[in-house]
Amino acid sequence: MIKWDETLTTKEAEDILIQAHVRREKRKLVVDKLAATLILQGYLDNRKRMGNPHSG
């Protein structure tokens, strides 16, 4: 199992959406999806940077 820190990811997603001028109503609908995307992208970027120990 790999532990991944997702602290402040929702806040980061909210800030991105605000900077993109997304209305509050729309932000509520997409903030969690964007936060999940940020978490996954961060993990993938780190994995690429560190090399993939699970590749064959």
Query: What is residue 54's DSSP assignment?
Result: T
Both structure tokens of 30: 């997409």
pTM (2 decimals)?
Answer: 0.79
Question: What is the pLDDT confidence band of residue 8, given thresholds at 50, 70 and 90?
Answer: very high
10 CB contacts (<8 Å, ≥6 apart)?
A: 31, 32, 35
Per the listing, tokens 């780190």 go with: 46
Residue range 12-54, pLDDT digits in tens = 999 999 999 999 999 999 999 999 999 999 999 988 888 865 5
* Domains of the chain by residue range: 9-49
Question: What is the pLDDT confidence band of residue 55, given thresholds at 50, 70 and 90?
Answer: low
CB atoms within 10 A of CB 2: 7
